[in-house]
């Protein structure tokens, strides 16, 4: 203990703020090392230099300011020494520019900014600047005769930089350009002239401190005072162009809009040239960053940002030409761009009107008149009769000459002559007077044969098409038939679209759309026949009738009457349901047919595969076209799919329609994306369609094989093996299942597919249900769903079998768990499975836990009371279950509720909901059980509460 400590007397205990200090230090350290930056914004703290929080609660002083929350400095707040204002009156205070400048700006003013040191200041700019500043400063001190800052040019650089020294040593003299003065002055003069022509608007350009501008300035000297380029000096020239506009001196219209300067310049330079002006788009310079395609004419507000949607997607139209109108050139029409003729029909300039009668009329020359008797096809003057007459008497048939060459020649010539007329023969006879080969023309060797061939050829031609010639010798032009013209033009005659029932051979891969329309009208009756043959609704004749009517309508095609209210006795929803049934049945029939066809065409295994897939995939309506075309291309568009959609009651009211879902609970949102990932079928399969398809399958089965065992099979199918195996291959339970369902696996393909689709439906239903729960929605029991729950009853039947208790086989809950787990992670699934087993082995323990937690149940009860009265109604049904604390009661209750489901649809829904809730609780509890007993207890409480409502 130090002695000085004993000098003090301590009262009470000192407040230890160690942790605060420690944390502050820590923070300060963290802040210093930049760790704090990485924190999210709301975790970061503003601290002062010593790591104290700048902002803290109001009770601890608001925010830290000044020196330890005091003012000013270490000395704290010290009052200014009093000065009498009487003696020292506050005069009119002069404001200086420094009052309004920030420190950095002041630094700029003071010339403390970064600049080349005087040593390296080659061209003396910094020196000049410095000296100017110096002078300014001095001027402040002693007022000079000339007010205001001294012009730059009066102040010369005071020091010589290294660069200047070097240049001087290299022979450069002051006032001369650095460039090579020996260059040919003529070329330079030319270049200078060209440059001058271009840079007419340079007056606004400031002399920059770059080498480039130096040389530029040097080269663009005023012509009058630097004719001799050899002594061109580096003296800056400020007046480059004469003033051409009507602005005030020094006024720069583009001061704040330098983007337009370029445009103006281009316009001026263009005016100097031939007056032709290429419209230069100024968009780029104006709106810079984007592609420059900005919608013209309509700027956006100052507060809005330029977005993608502001880009002018249409482009091409130069609205900007009318946009920028400068008023500094009053002599010119401001909208000179409109001089361009905007479109063809307005051949007048704006401000002008078209004259009624113009002096100048352009002389028009009509095309030469074609004489009426002009024939477009050239015709030899030799009369056709001349060549047709000899045909009357056939020359005798003679054997061809021995010389093969001659024979060929004769034949070719005969063909030619028959085609071109007798004149050709005469011509060639004259021509080939001396030619031995053409002796046959003059009655020499082979003449007989030639005559015969010629006759034959002529006969042939005459037979082909020209029988009319004899009849109408006066008509000089032969009329062409459509076929002839077509063959001349190389057209192919259209294939008659013979629509057989089986187009598999002809249609191939290409799918011809236009035939579709006629197809609609001439839709093969075979479908209907097939439908008639199958009769899916045998048991209900009225329904069957309606179904046939539906089929007729469906394939009638074209424009049809819109009244679907033929059966007025049925309710809206029942009709909808029936319609769906019909559609699925029709689809099933079609598919079955197509399937058979594909089977027939077994030589194409690919087709078969496609057909197999088709069985579960695809929309309802794409089966319109018969045959393999569809089977092949399952992607054929359009594809129709149907979903449930719930119009809001208000919407129906506004449309004056009865709500189809009147009084029913709102549907769960359709979770499409997740669904797609869940289902391992082809992607196109949506749950809804799968459901439909499976329904159709069921229909088919019911109709075709009317045995009670079918249902049992379907029920077994409810728990298909493949998915389990795919996900939880290590599970022993599934093996048992496999044994159970082994026969199905061996069974026909169809059944397997039915299984898959049923599975899809199950997944879909369960998933929707659980998702709905998660999102806090009520689970719907829509019309098709009721259909879907049917198998569950069957399942329930099987459940009541001895020994097939819940442990043995994964019921829906287990399955659902898995599905849900699957979405999160696959590994968790087995763990979950184990935990569930554990829990089921020790039900007593859990129930004890429930008892322990009973006091806290009251709150849960209260909460449950708050729930909707609808649910309270259901509570009565299940009130017995509350009394029993046995864990197994849950399952019993589940089955009980399932039994009840048959009684009414409402109860069906309720119990179903409840059922699913159990699953949820099971799932969550099982996953938590592993970790802590505390969690377990809470969970069981929750469970119980759930059971109550």
Partner 1 sequence: MSATAELPTKEAHVLKGHEGAVLAARFNGDGNYALTCGKDRTIRLWNPHRGILIKTYKSHGREVRDVHVTSDNAKFCSCGGDRQVYYWDVSTGRVIRKFRGHDGEVNAVKFNDSSSVVVSAGFDRSLRVWDCRSHSVEPVQIIDTFLDTVMSVVLTKTEIIGGSVDGTVRTFDMRIGREMSDNLGQPVNCISISNDGNCVLAGCLDSTLRLLDRTTGELLQVYKGHISKSFKTDCCLTNSDAHVIGGSEDGLVFFWDLVDAKVVSKFRAHDLVVTSVSYHPKEDCMLTSSVDGTIRVWKK
- Smaller CB separation from partner 1, 343 or 436: 343
Q: Which residues contact 491 (CB under 8 A, 6 or more apart)?
A: 485
What SS3 string covers 13-47? Answer: CCCCCHHHHHHHHHHHHHHHCCHHHHCCCCCCCCE
- Smaller CB separation from partner 1, 423 or 576: 576
- Smaller CB separation from partner 1, 500 or 572: 572
Sole binder of partner 1 in the list 23, 115, 516, 879 (CB under 8 A): 516
Sole binder of partner 1 in the list 314, 352, 360, 365 (CB under 8 A): 314
One symbol per residue from 467 to 506: x for binding partner 1 (CB under 8 A), - otherwise; what is it? ----------------------------------------
Q: Which of residues 323-382 bind partner 1 (CB under 8 A)?
A: 343
CB of 234 to partner 1, least distance (A): 52
Structure tokens at 300: 């956006």
DSSP 8-class letter at 646: -
- Smaller CB separation from partner 1, 572 or 851: 572
- Smaller CB separation from partner 1, 520 or 805: 520
CB of 675 to partner 1, least distance (A): 12
d(CA 234, CA 207): 12
CB of 455 to partner 1, least distance (A): 47
Q: How far is CA 62 from CA 20, 22, 55, 65, in A?
A: 17, 21, 6, 9
Structure tokens at 235: 């003296």
d(CA 645, CA 647): 6
Give the largest CA-CA distance in the chain: 161
Span interacting with partner 1, options 73-81, 302-310, 823-831, 849-857, rule CB under 8 A: 302-310
Q: Where are the alpha helices (DSSP H) in 147-282?
A: 162-169, 185-198, 211-219, 259-272
**520 contributes a contact to partner 1 by CB under 8 A:** yes
- Smaller CB separation from partner 1, 34 or 558: 558
- Smaller CB separation from partner 1, 297 or 383: 297
Partners of 55 in the β-ladder: 63
d(CA 791, CA 788): 7
Sole binder of partner 1 in the list 8, 276, 317, 365 (CB under 8 A): 317
The dihedral formed by the CA atoms of 410, 413, 418 and 421, expressed in degrees to the nearest 10? -130
CB of 566 to partner 1, least distance (A): 14
CB of 257 to partner 1, least distance (A): 21
User: What is the three-class DSSP state of 294?
Assistant: strand
One symbol per residue from 591 to 620: x for binding partner 1 (CB under 8 A), - otherwise; what is it? ----------------------------xx
d(CA 307, CA 322): 23
DSSP codes joined into one string, 510-537: ---STHHHHHHHT--HHHHHHHHHH-TT
Q: Which of residues 817-856 bind partner 1 (CB under 8 A)?
A: none
**Of how many residues is the chain composed?**
949
Q: Which of residues 249-268 bind partner 1 (CB under 8 A)?
A: none
- Smaller CB separation from partner 1, 382 or 557: 557
- Smaller CB separation from partner 1, 224 or 569: 569
Determine how many CB atoms are found less than 10 A away from the CB of residue 67.
14
CB of 874 to partner 1, least distance (A): 25
Determine how many CB atoms are found less than 10 A away from the CB of residue 733.
16
CB of 343 to partner 1, least distance (A): 7
- Smaller CB separation from partner 1, 187 or 650: 650
**514 contributes a contact to partner 1 by CB under 8 A:** yes
**861 contributes a contact to partner 1 by CB under 8 A:** no
One symbol per residue from 545 to 574: x for binding partner 1 (CB under 8 A), - otherwise; what is it? --------xx--x-xx-x---------xx-
- Smaller CB separation from partner 1, 111 or 666: 666
Partners of 20 in the β-ladder: none
Angle, CA of 800, 802 and 806, to the nearest 5°: 65
702 Cα distance to chain centroid: 45
CB of 514 to partner 1, least distance (A): 6
Partners of 294 in the β-ladder: 311
Instruction: With CB under 8 A as the rule, give the number of residues binding partner 1.
Output: 62
CB of 210 to partner 1, least distance (A): 42
CB of 870 to partner 1, least distance (A): 21
Q: Which of residues 668-707 bind partner 1 (CB under 8 A)?
A: 670, 672
Structure tokens at 848: 């004890």
d(CA 34, CA 926): 44
CB of 268 to partner 1, least distance (A): 27
One symbol per residue from 282 to 301: x for binding partner 1 (CB under 8 A), - otherwise; what is it? -------------xxxx-xx
Nearest in space to 629 (alpha carbons), one of 799, 515, 534: 515
User: What is the three-class DSSP state of 329?
Assistant: coil
CB of 647 to partner 1, least distance (A): 4
CB of 759 to partner 1, least distance (A): 23
One symbol per residue from 880 to 899: x for binding partner 1 (CB under 8 A), - otherwise; what is it? --------------------
CB of 695 to partner 1, least distance (A): 15
User: What is the three-class DSSP state of 55?
Assistant: strand
- Smaller CB separation from partner 1, 315 or 486: 315
- Smaller CB separation from partner 1, 571 or 842: 571
Structure tokens at 890: 């849950």
- Smaller CB separation from partner 1, 1 or 650: 650
CB of 342 to partner 1, least distance (A): 9
* Cis? peptide before 702, omega within 30° of 0: no
CB of 659 to partner 1, least distance (A): 8
CB of 623 to partner 1, least distance (A): 10
d(CA 471, CA 463): 14
**316 contributes a contact to partner 1 by CB under 8 A:** yes
- Smaller CB separation from partner 1, 246 or 651: 651
- Smaller CB separation from partner 1, 694 or 893: 694
Determine how many CB atoms are found less than 10 A away from the CB of residue 150.
15
Determine contact, residues 102/109, Cβ cutoff 8 Å.
no
d(CA 890, CA 918): 8
d(CA 90, CA 40): 51
Q: Which residues contact 895 (CB under 8 A, 6 or more apart)?
A: 796, 799, 800
Determine contact, residues 919/813, Cβ cutoff 8 Å.
yes
Q: Which of residues 1-60 bind partner 1 (CB under 8 A)?
A: none
What SS3 string covers 731-781? Answer: CHHHHHHHHHCHHHHHCCHHHHHHHHHHHHHHHHHHHHHHHHHHHCCCCCC
Burial (CB count <10 Å: 0-12, 13-18, 19+), residue 823: middle
d(CA 537, CA 225): 110
One symbol per residue from 619 to 658: x for binding partner 1 (CB under 8 A), - otherwise; what is it? xxxx-x----------x-xxxxxxxxxxxx-xxx-xxxxx
- Smaller CB separation from partner 1, 518 or 854: 518
The dihedral formed by the CA atoms of 721, 726, 729 and 731, expressed in degrees to the nearest 10? -50
Span interacting with partner 1, options 192-200, 509-517, 591-599, 851-859, rule CB under 8 A: 509-517
- Smaller CB separation from partner 1, 87 or 344: 344
The residues binding partner 1 (CB under 8 A) are: 295-298, 300-301, 304, 309-310, 312-314, 316-317, 319, 343, 513-514, 516-517, 520, 553-554, 557, 559-560, 562, 572-573, 575-576, 579, 619-622, 624, 635, 637-648, 650-652, 654-658, 660-661, 670, 672
């Amino acid at each position: 203990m130090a002695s000085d400590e004993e000098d003090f007397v301590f009262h009470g205990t000192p407040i230890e703020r160690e942790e605060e200090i420690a944390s502050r230090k820590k923070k300060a350290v963290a802040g210093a090392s930049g760790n704090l930056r990485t924190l999210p914004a709301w975790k970061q703290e503003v601290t002062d230099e010593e790591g104290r929080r700048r902002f803290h609660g109001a009770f601890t002083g608001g925010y830290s300011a000044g020196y330890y929350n005091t003012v000013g400095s270490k000395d704290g707040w010290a009052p200014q020494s009093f000065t009498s204002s009487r003696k020292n009156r506050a005069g009119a205070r002069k404001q200086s520019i420094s009052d309004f400048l920030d420190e950095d700006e002041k630094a700029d003013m003071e010339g403390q900014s970064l600049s080349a040191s005087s040593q390296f200041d080659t061209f003396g700019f910094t020196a000049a600047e410095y000296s100017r500043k110096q002078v300014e400063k001095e001027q402040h001190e002693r007022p000079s005769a000339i007010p205001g800052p001294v012009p730059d040019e009066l102040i010369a650089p005071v020091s010589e930089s290294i660069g200047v020294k070097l240049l001087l040593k290299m022979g450069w003299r002051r006032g001369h350009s650095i460039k090579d003065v020996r260059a040919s002055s003529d070329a330079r003069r030319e270049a200078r002239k060209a440059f001058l022509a271009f840079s007419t608007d340079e007056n606004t350009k400031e002399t920059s401190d770059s080498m480039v501008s130096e040389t530029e300035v040097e080269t663009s000297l005023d012509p009058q005072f630097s004719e001799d380029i050899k002594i061109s000096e580096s003296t800056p020239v400020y007046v480059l162009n004469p003033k051409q506009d009507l602005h005030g001196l020094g006024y720069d219209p583009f001061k704040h809009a330098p983007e337009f300067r370029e445009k103006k310049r281009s316009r001026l330079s263009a005016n100097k040239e031939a007056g032709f002006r290429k419209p230069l788009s100024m968009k780029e310079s104006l709106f810079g960053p984007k592609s420059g395609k900005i919608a013209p004419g309509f700027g956006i507000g100052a507060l809005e940002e330029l977005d993608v949607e502001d880009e002018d997607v249409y482009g091409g139209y130069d609205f900007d030409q009318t946009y920028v109108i400068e008023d500094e050139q009053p002599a010119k029409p401001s909208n000179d761009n409109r001089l361009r003729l905007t479109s063809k029909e307005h051949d007048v300039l704006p401000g002008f009107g078209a004259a009624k009668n113009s002096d100048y009329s352009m002389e028009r020359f009509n095309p030469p008149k074609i004489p009426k008797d002009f024939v477009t096809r050239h015709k030899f003057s030799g009369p056709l009769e001349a060549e047709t007459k000899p045909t009357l008497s056939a020359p005798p048939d003679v054997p061809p000459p021995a010389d093969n060459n001659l024979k060929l020649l004769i034949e070719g010539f005969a063909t030619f002559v028959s085609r071109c007329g007798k004149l050709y023969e005469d011509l060639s006879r004259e021509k080939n007077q001396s030619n031995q080969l053409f002796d046959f023309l003059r009655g020499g060797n082979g003449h007989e044969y030639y005559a015969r061939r010629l006759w034959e050829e002529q006969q042939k031609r005459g037979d082909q098409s020209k029988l009319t010639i004899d009849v109408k010798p006066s008509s000089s032009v032969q009329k062409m038939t459509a076929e002839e013209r077509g063959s001349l033009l190389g057209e192919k005659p259209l294939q008659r679209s013979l629509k057989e029932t089986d187009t598999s051979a002809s249609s191939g891969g290409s799918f011809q759309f236009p035939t579709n329309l006629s197809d609609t009208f001439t839709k093969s009756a075979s479908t209907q026949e097939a439908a008639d043959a199958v009769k899916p609704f045998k048991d209900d004749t009225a329904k069957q009738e309606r179904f046939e009517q539906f089929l007729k309508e469906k394939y009638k095609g074209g424009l049809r009457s819109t009244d679907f209210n033929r059966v007025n006795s049925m309710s809206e929803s029942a009709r909808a349901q029936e319609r769906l049934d019909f559609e699925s049945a029709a689809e099933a029939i079609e598919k079955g047919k197509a399937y058979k066809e594909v089977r027939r065409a077994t030589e194409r295994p690919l087709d078969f595969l496609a057909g197999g897939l088709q069985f579960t995939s695809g929309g309802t309506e794409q089966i319109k076209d018969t045959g393999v075309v569809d089977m092949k291309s399952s992607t054929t568009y359009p594809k129709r799919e149907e979903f449930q959609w719930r119009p809001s009651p208000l919407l129906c009211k506004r449309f004056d329609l009865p709500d189809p879902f009147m009084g029913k609970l709102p549907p769960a949102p359709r979770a499409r994306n997740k669904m797609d990932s869940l289902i391992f079928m082809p992607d196109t399969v949506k749950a809804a369609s799968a459901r439909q398809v499976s329904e159709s399958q069921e229909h088919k089965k019911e109709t075709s094989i009317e045995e009670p065992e079918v249902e049992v099979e379907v029920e077994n199918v409810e728990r298909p093996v493949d998915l389990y195996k795919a996900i939880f291959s290590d599970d022993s339970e599934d093996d048992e299942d496999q044994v159970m369902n082994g026969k199905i696996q061996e069974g026909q393909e169809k059944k397997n597919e039915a299984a898959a689709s049923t599975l899809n439906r199950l997944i879909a239903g369960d998933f929707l249900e659980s998702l709905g729960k998660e999102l806090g929605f009520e689970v719907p029991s829509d019309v098709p769903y009721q259909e879907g729950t049917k198998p569950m009853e069957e399942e329930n039947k099987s459940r009541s079998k001895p020994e097939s208790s819940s442990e043995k086989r994964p019921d829906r809950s287990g399955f659902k768990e898995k599905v849900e787990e699957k979405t999160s992670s696959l590994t968790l699934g087995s763990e979950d499975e184990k935990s569930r087993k554990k829990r089921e082995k020790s039900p007593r323990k859990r129930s004890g836990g429930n008892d322990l937690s009973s006091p806290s149940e009251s709150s849960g009860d209260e909460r449950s009371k708050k729930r909707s009265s609808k649910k309270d109604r259901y509570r009565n049904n299940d009130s017995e279950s509350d009394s029993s604390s046995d864990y197994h009661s849950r399952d019993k209750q589940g089955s009980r509720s399932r039994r009840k489901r048959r009684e009414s649809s409402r109860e069906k829904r309720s119990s179903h909901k409840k059922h699913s809730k159990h699953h949820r609780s099971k799932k969550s509890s099982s996953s938590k059980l592993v970790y802590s007993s505390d969690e377990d207890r809470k969970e069981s409480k929750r469970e119980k509460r759930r059971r109550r409502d």
